[in-house]
Structure 1
Amino acid sequence: MQRAVLFDETGGPDVLRVAEVPVPKPGPDGVVVEVRAVGINPYDAKARSGLIPLDTPFPRSLGGDFAGVVSAAGADARYWDGTPVVPGDEVLGWGAGTLREHLAVLSSHLARKPAGVPFEVAGSLSTPGQTANAAMGVLEPGEGDVVLVSAAAGAVGFLFCQLALAAGAAVVGTAGPGNHARLQAIGVVPVEYGPGLVDRVRAAAPAGITAVQDNFGREAIDAGLALGVAPDRICAIADRAAVAELGLRSPGRYERRADVLDRLARMVADGGLVLPVQAVLPLERVAEAFSLLETRHLHGKVVVAP
């Protein structure tokens, strides 16, 4: 048997419990991973609370990202490049119900974990990294662009900022004052969110902005429109109503890809991409981890280590 996080009803973090469940076996093209780290995401909190309606029966499991060590592999288990997956491989990836000690997952959902990347960083990378990458594919910022990024200190925003800067764009990022130094350290011009944002962005980018990546809500979208950015140069991942109403861009339900995750992990290993971790908590403190996540005033990922 193994320990896994389950919940029997929607609600706050207190509905989560740690239960004993069977250890899975791999399918022909699957693996079983001994999970070392799970970065929790806003989606997980919304699924637990009922804000995102699900039709799966209770008890439900939780978690989408992970990193760990392969303990068993099916005969046809292969990485995205065709290389066989073997027990002992250190991996990262995505799956369903990853908040557990042993996870069965398709090998197509795996990337190799570079040796220099800590498990807690690797286990936090898939959702924010692939979302940021998908948004980059929508906006395609580059030389000459000045991008306004909202929630720039959050995981998706922070990774998007780095990818946009690497592509040659300049970035103005909204964040609370406590995160300004961290944004400046990677080359972002920080501005505080809240009333007066348009004037602060105008002062930070006097030549104007050319695109907006919104990761939080309407404020940055409205600021971009007020500053003359065309709707098709605004990408929003948090406000679906605004996307439909204003004709904005969005990656929508993008396809997750193991080769993309592999590239992002190698960028982390090479120092070209940074994903800070704020807290690592054990499985039995999962409710505390979600309470911390839901304060929404973070300076890094919240990670559960089974």
Structure 2
Amino acid sequence: MTDVPSEEVPGRPLSASRAVRLESFGGPEFLVVREVPVPEAGPGQVRVRVTAAGLNPMDWFMTADADTASRFGLTLPTGFGTDYAGVVDQVGAGVTGFARGDRVYGGALSRAVADFVVVDATGNTPANEVHHTPDGVDDRTAATLTIAGRTASAALAVVAPGPGDTVLIGGAGGGVGVFAVQLARIAGARVIGTGSAASADYLRELGAEPVAYGDGLEDRVRALAPAGITAAIDLFGTETAHAARTLGVPDARITTIAAQIDGIAPANGANAAPGALEELADLVATGRLRVPIAATFPIEQIRSAVELQSGRRVKGKVVIDL
């Protein structure tokens, strides 16, 4: 193990660190910040001093109740959050490819909102992974990539948009939508994105043509695309998927991420293609993809951050600064 004394978190001794904990399953009101021992990197692991942690709907969904938590292997007490970015400050025995001081990002399932996380150096799932942060990608942005970026990549792989396609994306302004819209545009497709009237300008900035969700969606889409749409990604529920079916899109070119519909293949970020996350980071580094940060909060305001994020009206990503 590379056991060089780590930099202290400003104003805090290295013998203790902060971590968000849930001691009862439920909503944001059950989130607390606790002093916890600093974890140690074991063989094959690295310890990361976290500087930013991005929030996702799955964070509060999977800790809402005991039955849901058990599906993800979580028991009380548990941490919170999965996406992180920071700096390697301890390297376990046998690790190659990472050194103390390397800027990194990745996933640590339900434990990312903490001063330190320990992850496997060769892990390659959103639950336990670490990647080098490219130059040109700041830590806040890097901390938004793992869950939402992988999910968007997996969704696009299902419908395979390209030049000549017109893709309808439901929930286009949300955390996954900001990636899905831009990736579809990069692939050469025209994008129509559903959202509220207040989000129209924001969707245009992302590269989508806005359309209001709700009753009459099919008619509004027909007016925008008289020649029809050829693919659809529903990032919120089932409205967009059902509208796409009504508009003649075959099931093979429709996908969902938050609901199951018979005959339609759902997309799951855990099944994203190898290298998908690194490709996203490179797109950010080269300026081809941007990640709007809607709000940032200190760890002490975790409840307010989750309340904002779980309202599902945020344009972009919510990040915790550590």
Q: Which residue of 2 aligns with 1:130?
A: 150
Cα distance in 1 between the residues matched to 2:17 and 2:273: 29
CA gap 1:152/1:52 in 2 versus in 1, 3 angstroms: farther
Contact 1:110 1:258 in 2 (8 A): no
Q: Which residue of 2 aligns with 1:98?
A: 112
Cα distance in 2 between the residues matched to 1:278 and 1:186: 14
Unaligned runs of 5+ in 1: 79-83
Cα distance in 2 between the residues matched to 1:51 and 1:152: 31
CA gap 1:167/1:237 in 2 versus in 1, 3 angstroms: same
Deviates more, 1:125-134 or 1:111-120: 111-120
Question: TM-score, normalising length from structure 1?
Answer: 0.93
Question: TM-score, normalising length from structure 2?
Answer: 0.88
How far did 1:51 drift? 8.1
Q: Does residue 10 of the first structure (1) align with residue 25 of the second (2)?
A: yes
Q: Which residue of 1 aligns with 2:132?
A: 112
Q: Which residue of 2 aligns with 1:225?
A: 245
Query: What does residue range 235-250 of structure 1 map to in structure 2 within 5 Å?
Result: 235-240=255-260, 242=261, 245=262, 247-250=263-266
Give 3-state SS (helix, strand or coil) of 2:161's partner.
coil
Q: Which residue of 2 aligns with 1:289?
A: 305
Give 3-state SS (helix, strand or coil) of 1:148's partner.
strand
Contact 2:153 2:272 in 1 (8 A): no
Give 3-state SS (helix, strand or coil) of 1:33's partner.
strand
Query: What does residue range 187-198 of structure 1 map to in structure 2 within 5 Å?
Result: 187-198=207-218
Aligned length: 297
CA gap 1:61/1:295 in 2 versus in 1, 3 angstroms: same
Contact 1:37 1:304 in 2 (8 A): yes
CA gap 1:60/1:235 in 2 versus in 1, 3 angstroms: same
CA gap 1:58/1:234 in 2 versus in 1, 3 angstroms: same
Q: Does residue 270 of the first structure (1) align with residue 283 of the second (2)?
A: no
Give 3-state SS (helix, strand or coil) of 1:155's partner.
coil
Match of residue 201, structure 1, among 192, 216, 221: 221
1:72-105: per-residue Cα shift (whole Å, max 9, x none)? Answer: 1123324xxxxx1001011110112111001101
How far did 1:187 drift? 2.4
Cα distance in 2 between the residues matched to 1:26 and 1:294: 32
Unaligned runs of 5+ in 2: 1-15, 123-128
Match of residue 48, structure 1, among 35, 55, 63: 63
Cα distance in 1 between the residues matched to 2:32 and 2:290: 32
CA gap 1:199/1:237 in 2 versus in 1, 3 angstroms: same
Match of residue 48, structure 2, among 27, 33, 41: 33
Cα distance in 1 between the residues matched to 2:35 and 2:238: 42
Same amino acid, percent of matched pairs: 40
Contact 2:52 2:319 in 1 (8 A): yes
How far did 1:249 drift? 1.6
Give 3-state SS (helix, strand or coil) of 2:191's partner.
strand
Contact 2:294 2:318 in 1 (8 A): yes
Q: Does residue 280 of the first structure (1) align with residue 296 of the second (2)?
A: yes
Q: Which residue of 2 aligns with 1:81?
A: none
- Aligned amino acid, residue 99 of structure 2: V
- Aligned amino acid, residue 296 of structure 2: V
- Aligned amino acid, residue 18 of structure 2: R
Cα distance in 2 between the residues matched to 1:294 and 1:52: 20
Q: Which residue of 2 aligns with 1:184?
A: 204
Q: Which residue of 1 aligns with 2:100?
A: 87
1:1-51: per-residue Cα shift (whole Å, max 9, x none)? Answer: 111011111122110111111111112221000001111110011123228
Contact 1:111 1:259 in 2 (8 A): no
- Aligned amino acid, residue 119 of structure 1: D
Deviates more, 1:109-118 or 1:130-139: 109-118
Contact 2:147 2:269 in 1 (8 A): no
Q: Which residue of 2 aligns with 1:260?
A: 276
1:211-232: per-residue Cα shift (whole Å, max 9, x none)? Answer: 1101011211111011011111
Cα distance in 2 between the residues matched to 1:187 and 1:89: 34
Q: Which residue of 2 aligns with 1:171?
A: 191
Match of residue 82, structure 2, among 64, 74, 88: 64
How far did 1:52 drift? 6.3
1:96-130: per-residue Cα shift (whole Å, max 9, x none)? Answer: 21110011011232221123222111111110001
Cα distance in 2 between the residues matched to 1:51 and 1:19: 21
